[in-house]
Amino acid sequence: DTKGEDFSYLLKSLKALGQQVITINTGVMETSVDFPIDVDQDAVAKASGTSLEAIRKSNDRGRAVELMGKGAASILADLVVKDKINGVIGMGGGGGTYIILEAMQAVPLGIPKFCLSTVVAKDLSRQIGVKDITLMSSVVDVAGLNSISRLLIRQAASAITAMSDTKVDATEETQRSIAISMFGNTTKCVDKCTELLRAKGYEVMAFHATGVGGSTMESLIREGVFDAVLDVTTTELADELCGGILSAGPDRLTAATEMGVPQIVVPGCLDMVNFAQMDTLPQQYRSRQLYSWAPDVTLMRTNVTENETLGKQLVDKLKGAKAPVEILLPLKGISQIDSEGDIFYDPEADSALFGAIRESADGHVPVREVDAHINDAAFAEALVERLMKILK
């Protein structure tokens, strides 16, 4: 609504670099610009499921920002399907940044997304989510041109142009790609699996099971990035169940099932829930078995009841899979510190987990048992062997 001069300069900068530009107006009030708008504000509002008139009448700025972000996302999704865009760029203050980042959620990995914003020092992790978005500080407000804003807008135009024009040499691309989840407590297993898979010609992408890592992996599975998934470290399910700080949300372990991607699943690190410093633990957990993994990481050992629940949840997320799926159980321990004589060794809890998996999976999901610890080379070899079997 108020930044026509700035956007006019951005458009001119992009065109000077040889770019074809589709302009989308996400404002809700009267807008005066000296360039044509390809997708007007009425279309954006309609794409959000409402009308521009209704948004204006509500006189609710927060709701307007939310709806225009939603509408812009719908517009971008359609442009992606039609193969109309090679990059997305926007700029603004707090409201504009929210709209831009919300809209960019509809754009898949690999199409560059660039936002010149006044609020890059703010925690924008929720708005960015798992997307490959580049943020750049505007330094001054986006509120009329000056010597600083002209320079940074030109740089932003140059950045999105270079990013959009970048191509990967076909010889660098790997035809087959495997996603694998890992934790410090499963690193030996993942390293061995990666070694074995690379030797077979696969590209392996590891995702740290820190909540964001699991969410990112799920998102990329849905975008069709991987040929198969080796989900060694499903610990985020435990954090979701118990309120830990590394939950990946309720949709963790659903993407491959729903998208028809072959997967091998392991209850890796379901023996632990992650919290921050010891004094941040919820009161009800302070008498539990705890371990300080680092000064700012406290692990809580899951108990029998929680493991029974987790075993059932894990299987339920795999039922009805549209591609081959198997669960492999490492009978001698599911994390680095769940081995005989170590801090989280608890055969009763592991037995409850394995028992729940077997019972829930009966007739629905194949379960294979390996008489090894999760970090034993023998278990990694079994994982890769089974993955090759289901890929065939």
Q: How confident is the model at residue 3 (pLDDT cuts 50, 70, 90)?
A: confident
Q: Residue 194: beta bridge partners?
A: none
Portion of the chain with pLDDT greater than 90, in percent: 89
pLDDT at position 167 is: 82
- 131, 261, 306, 130 alpha-carbon torsion, rounded to 10°: 0
pLDDT at position 1 is: 77
Query: How far is residue 57's CA from residue 54's CA, in Å, rounded to a whole number?
Result: 5
Which pair of tokens denotes residue 94? 């707090």
From residue 25, give the alpha-carbon distance in Å to each of 55, 366, 379. Answer: 15, 52, 55
- With left for phi above 0 and alpha for psi between -120 and 50, is residue 84 left, alpha or beta? alpha
pLDDT at position 147 is: 93
- Rounded to an integer, the average pLDDT of 110-130 is 92
pLDDT at position 281 is: 95
pLDDT at position 172 is: 58
- Rounded to an integer, the average pLDDT of 30-53 is 93
> Does 171 have pLDDT greater than 60?
no
> Does 168 have pLDDT greater than 80?
no
pLDDT at position 174 is: 53
Q: In this structure, what DSSP letter does residue 267 have?
A: B
> Does 144 have pLDDT greater than 90?
no
- 318, 187, 309, 214 alpha-carbon torsion, rounded to 10°: -60
Domains and CATH numbers, the chain: 4-165 (3.40.50.12020), 177-391 (3.40.50.12030)
Mean pLDDT in the chain? 94
* CB contact set of 100 (below 8 Å; sequence gap of 6+): 69, 72, 90, 91, 92, 115, 117
> Does 21 have pLDDT greater than 80?
yes
Q: How confident is the model at residue 119 (pLDDT cuts 50, 70, 90)?
A: very high
pLDDT at position 14 is: 97
Q: Is 106 helix (H, G, I), strand (E, B) or coil?
A: coil
Q: How confident is the model at residue 107 (pLDDT cuts 50, 70, 90)?
A: very high
Q: In this structure, what DSSP letter does residue 390 have?
A: H
Q: How confident is the model at residue 217 (pLDDT cuts 50, 70, 90)?
A: very high
Considering the entire predicted model, what is its pTM? 0.77
**Which phi and psi angles does 75 have, rounded to 5°?**
-65, -45
> Does 57 have pLDDT greater than 60?
yes
Query: How far is residue 303's CA from residue 377's CA, in Å, rounded to a whole number?
Result: 27
Query: How far is residue 337's CA from residue 334's CA, in Å, rounded to a whole number?
Result: 8
Q: How confident is the model at residue 169 (pLDDT cuts 50, 70, 90)?
A: low
Higher pLDDT, 110 or 230: 230
pLDDT at position 138 is: 93
> Does 377 have pLDDT greater than 80?
yes
pLDDT at position 160 is: 98
Query: How far is residue 7's CA from residue 153's CA, in Å, rounded to a whole number?
Result: 9
Q: Is 16 helix (H, G, I), strand (E, B) or coil?
A: helix
pLDDT at position 34 is: 86
Digit-coded pLDDT (tens) for 224-273: 999 999 999 999 999 999 999 999 999 999 999 999 999 999 999 999 99
- Rounded to an integer, the average pLDDT of 124-146 is 90
pLDDT at position 237 is: 98
**Which phi and psi angles does 325 have, rounded to 5°?**
-145, 145
